[in-house]
Amino acid sequence: MRGILLLTRAEISRLRRNRRYLIFTVGLPVILYLIIGKQATSKAYGVDFAAYYMVAMATFGAFAGALNGNSIRISEERKVGWIRQLRLTPLPANAYVVAKILTSMATTIPSVVIVLLLGRFYGGVHLAAWQWLVIAVIIWLGSTIFAALAVAVGYRFPPDQVQPITLLLYFTFTILGGVWFPISGALQTIGKGTPTYEAIKISTDVIGNVAVPYGLVLGLVIWLAIFAGLATLSVRSMAEAV
């Protein structure tokens, strides 16, 4: 376990120097919230727009950080032989995958916290302490779903294929999940099954003091199981190739 934590620490240190990663996981959600968060006076999903957009941008930062950066980076590291080198060390076989997921969980915290603070002090969102905590935890844990997906995609495909696949997944989950704008009608009917929509809807239900349907929570658990399963299959299928 100590070796995994040391590898995770090294991964976090490297990401802190990655400007592109910081821009998309922290900078872009913050800028979008500052520009759009207070512009609309309507409601979305039963709460004020500022509260909805706070949740949406926190989800966006966590989701983008877990999926976009990790999938391409994993594929590139597999191509150059970094994973093969790690397998020659005393680290357990799953150390690389576990370290990537732990790194993603650690590095998504700043984007979630900063956007929630903006919601409170810039967007004027007032909530009880327990509501802030529940929202942060739901979004944060939801990011692990996409960290697992990043492992599945990055391990399975070469870098030139990973980028378009990741972009397709990115736009599918952000649009159908109501990350960029609240969805309704047929689009909402389709998007209800996505983990991004489930994370946002759970959070807005908590804000609106509405009982959260168990199906939404169960949906996040199912998505995590699916993507974790895919990640496991990808790692096993490519074991001899790395």
DSSP labels, 93-146 = TTHHHHHHHHHHHHHTHHHHHHHHHHHHHTS-----HHHHHHHHHHHHHHHHHH
pLDDT in tens, 30-82: 888 888 887 777 888 889 999 999 999 999 988 887 887 788 788 887 777 76
Would residue 56 count as lying in a domain?
yes
Q: Which domain covers residue 186, as residue numbers? A: 2-237
pLDDT in tens, 196-226: 999 999 999 999 888 888 888 899 999 988 9
Work out how many domains the chain is built from and give that number: 1
Would residue 120 count as lying in a domain?
yes
Would residue 242 count as lying in a domain?
no
Would residue 227 count as lying in a domain?
yes
pLDDT band at residue 24 under the 50/70/90 scheme: low
Q: Supply the pLDDT for residue 16.
A: 65
Which of 97, 46, 90 lies closest to 71, judged by CA? 97
Q: Supply the pLDDT for residue 117.
A: 93
Would residue 184 count as lying in a domain?
yes
Q: With beta carbons less than 8 A apart as the criterion, state whether 154 and 74 touch.
A: yes
Would residue 128 count as lying in a domain?
yes
Would residue 57 count as lying in a domain?
yes
Q: Supply the pLDDT for residue 119.
A: 92
Would residue 28 count as lying in a domain?
yes
Cβ neighbors of 184 (< 8 A, separation 6 or more) are none
Alpha carbons 129 and 127: distance in angstroms, whole number: 6
pLDDT at residue 20 is higher than 80: no
pLDDT in tens, 115-173: 999 999 998 899 999 999 999 999 988 888 888 898 888 888 888 888 889 889 988 99
